[in-house]
Amino acid sequence: VKITHLKKLGEEYVDKEVTVISRIHNTRSQSAKLAFLMLRQQGKTIQAVVAANSEAVSRQMVKWSVSLNVNSFVRVTGIVKKPDPPVASASISNLELQVTKIYLVARAAEQLPMQVKDAERPPPAKEEEGQVDAEGAPIVTLKTRLDNRVIDLQTECNQAIFTISSAVEGLFAEYLRKAGSRQFNTPKILGAATEGGSGVFEVKNYFGKSGFLAQSPQLYKQMLIAADCESVFEVGPVFRAENSNTHRHLCEFTGLDFEMVFDHHYHEVLGFAEQLIVFIVHELQARYKDEIAVVQKYFPRAGDFRIKDGKALRLKYFDGIKILRDAGVDTTEQDNFVTDLTTAQEKRLGQLIREKYDTDFYVLDEFPMCVRPFYTKVHPTDPNLSNSYDFFMRGEEIMSGAQRINDAAELEAAMRSKGLDPNSEGFQDYVNAFRQGCRPHAGGGLGLNRIVMFFLGLDNVRQATPFPRDPQRLRP
Ligand code: ATP
Ligand code: AMO
């Protein structure tokens, strides 16, 4: 028997017989002769009518069908009908199945730790364990969802979120490959920390030595540039041992990194990054309308991500600081080069920019040197600034990048000024790479989980991560 996917079931099937394999989303018994099963496959649901009105369906079968545990897999054969009046909902099919056969394919446990239908309600403003909603149904908190992630991922919203996440990875690679860039996979077990001293996970037993999990592919993508690769990219895991318990920090995330030579000025690469992100956003909005509409039922901002005129608003870092100061925000620390923008300042700037410039996508260029890593190229005329940039979506950082130091002597001096030893075991291969000459280059790193989160207007980066790792969570 040919099996039809629920998502493919369109009006051309009306009055035809089909067989589907799907989960039981819920059951409702109307009478001894009539029951309704809501069937679900990858977030898509359709109503199946089990009516004891023909030879095919007995009263016993009606009774048995409603006794099946919710979430069990069944193979259902039936005639496709168009109910009148139609079912009006984005995720529920406007078609219906008049069941002729049902087989149990895989039984679900009677007592699920949480129900998919409970997880399929919009998240409340404030989550507390044991809370119930206006109708008295239990509110499933993010913690419960993540603890039971295999069930949680079955919801229509999560199915849509991870379709979009997969698309972002694909679109990133598609754009870079079209631009002639080559994809690499650089080592994740390293002899030294990448981004500076702190925040690395140690691998204790590397055959008698200590190793570290890579904090980014930074040094290797630059070594590939020194190896005449000219333009490289990587999609891979990034590990950060930071005890950051925030809505946007993970201990392991997927990095989308690229690095390339430029001909005249690092703004060629800044412009490339800008068009790369515009491409990703526009293609998502064009190709994934249905998924965005599903996410929007739960996260109302999903559909309103706005890029004005197909470009990023380009500001210098201190232009951004000025916008904040003019709005009455205290920027003394930033004016005195003490700290980078705080998350609260970033978010406020995002709001002000949306109000003033009508866009959710902008870049800050020329960051202060003191808040950037050692490999960053200093500004040609102002030693307090650097040729580096961050891109923001809805007021939060999604990408960091910069022109890099490509001269070995300059790099050694920069490392020493940050207390790093260029001749140490961990750094000498990196520094050596520049001793044979290396073209000027720049690049950037995006967090996949963050792009998905901010594009869709989710509340938490964990919602854009299938099995998140944070300081409190090492399972599932
Ligand atoms: P990066 O990717 O470079 O780490 P980021 O912006 O995500 O960039 P940080 O630069 O580490 O993260 O920190 C940026 C901001 O995040 C800080 O200004 C700080 O406000 C906030 N932040 C980081 N860690 C924490 C924490 N543990 N608690 C609250 N806020 C934090
Ligand atoms: P940075 O440290 O800013 O830069 O990281 C790049 C991007 O990765 C994402 N990101 C994170 N996502 C989730 N959890 C985290 N803890 C986390 N930290 C960072 C953000 C961020 O913009 N080597 C440089 C990149 C470069 O210059 O090419 C780097 O790693 O989206």
pLDDT score for 84: 78
Compute the average pLDDT of residues 34-40: 95
CA distance 60 to 400: 63
Ligand that comes closest to the CA of residue 376: 2
Residue with tokens 């390293």: 190
Catalytic residue list contains 372: no
For residue 397, which atom of ligand 1 is closest to its CA?
A: 6
Averaged pLDDT of the chain? 92
Å from CA of 21 to ligand 2 middle: 41
Distance of alpha carbon 169 from alpha carbon 179, whole angstroms: 16
Proximal ligand: closest to the CA of 441: 2
Catalytic residue among 127, 169, 230, 242: 242
- Given a contact cutoff of 8 angstroms between Cβ atoms, the answer to whether 440 and 403 are in contact is yes
CB-ligand 1 contact for 198 (6 Å cutoff): no
Higher pLDDT, 335 or 192: 335
Atom 30 in ligand 2: residue holding the nearest Cα: 216
| Active-site residue, 249 included | yes
Q: Which ligand is nearest to the CA of 215?
A: 2
d(CA 196, CA 373) in angstroms, rounded, equals: 7
The stretch 246-269 carries a mean pLDDT of: 97
Let me know if 242 is a catalytic residue. Answer: yes
Is 240 considered catalytic here?
yes
Could you tell me whether strands 396-403 and 209-213 are parallel, antiparallel, or unpaired per DSSP bridges? unpaired
Inter-residue long-range contacts of 424-430, CB under 8 Å, 24+ positions, other chains counted: 424/192, 425/191, 425/192, 426/190, 426/191, 426/192, 426/193, 427/192, 429/223, 430/219, 430/222, 430/223
Q: How far is the CA of 334 from the centre of ligand 1 (A)?
A: 15
The predicted pLDDT at position 444 comes to 98
Mean pLDDT for 312-328 is 96
What percentage of residues in the chain have a pLDDT greater than 90? 82
Burial class (CB in 10 A: 0-12, 13-18, 19+), 61: middle
Top-ranked range on mean pLDDT: pick from 100-104, 117-121, 422-426: 100-104
- Please pick, among 25, 348, 372, 450, the residue that the annotation labels catalytic: 450
Q: How far is the CA of 343 from the centre of ligand 1 (A)?
A: 7
Q: Catalytic pick from 23, 25, 40, 248?
A: 248
- Structure tokens given for 324: 């904040």
Tokens of 96: 């219906």
Residue 413: φ, ψ to 5°: -65, -40
Told to judge if 248 belongs to the known catalytic residues of this protein, a careful annotator would answer yes
State pLDDT tens for residues 55-70. 789 999 999 999 999 9
Q: Output the pLDDT for position 119.
A: 81
Tell me which of 249, 301, 469, 473 is the catalytic residue.
Answer: 249
Residue 346 CB less than 6 A away from ligand 1: no
Yes or no: say if 437 and 210 are a contact pair by the CB < 8 Å rule. Answer: no
Q: Which two tokens stand for residue 275?
A: 């068009």
313-316 vs 361-365, strand pairing mode: parallel
Q: Are strands 202-206 and 209-213 parallel, antiparallel or unpaired?
A: antiparallel
Residue with the smallest CA separation from ligand 2 atom 21 is 399
Structure confidence at residue 22 as a pLDDT band (50, 70, 90):
very high
Q: Is 246 in the pocket of ligand 1 (CB under 6 A)?
A: yes
Atom 3, ligand 2: which residue's CA is nearest?
400
Q: Which comes out higher in pLDDT, residue 78 or 113?
A: 78
Q: What is the pLDDT of residue 19?
A: 97
Enter the ipTM.
0.81
Predicted pLDDT at 2: 94
396-403 and 441-447 beta bridge pairing? antiparallel
Atom of ligand 2 nearest to the CA of 251: 16
Q: State residue 88's pLDDT score.
A: 59
Q: Mean pLDDT across the stretch 141-160?
A: 93
Q: Which of 231, 240, 400, 461 to mutate to test the pocket of ligand 2 (most atoms within 8 A of CB)?
A: 400
Residue nearest to atom 23 of ligand 1 (CA): 244
Of the residues 400, 404, 441, 462, only one is catalytic, namely 400
Residue with CA closest to ligand 2 atom 27: 401
Residue nearest to atom 3 of ligand 1 (CA): 400
Task: Give the Cα separation of 391 and 315 in Å (integer).
Answer: 10
Instruction: Write down the catalytic residue from 240, 348, 404, 462.
Output: 240
pTM attached to this predicted model: 0.90
Lowest mean pLDDT across 8-12, 85-89, 238-242, 383-387: 85-89
Q: Is 453 left (phi over 0), alpha (psi -120 to 50) or beta?
A: alpha
Q: Are strands 209-213 and 231-239 parallel, antiparallel or unpaired?
A: unpaired
Per-residue pLDDT of 156-190, as tens digits, reads 999 999 999 999 999 999 999 999 999 999 999 99
Active site includes 5? Answer: no
Which residues have C-beta atoms less than 6 Å from ligand 2?
Answer: 195, 216, 218, 240, 249-250, 253, 255, 257, 397-402, 443-447, 449-450, 461
Ligand 1 pocket member 345 (CB < 6 A): no
* Distance, CA of 287 to CA of 226 (rounded, Å): 37
Question: Mean pLDDT over residues 64-93, rounded?
Answer: 86
Cβ neighbour number for residue 376 with a 10 Å cutoff: 21
Active site residue 11: no
- 126 class by beta-carbon count within 10 Å (0-12 exposed, 13-18 middle, 19+ buried): exposed
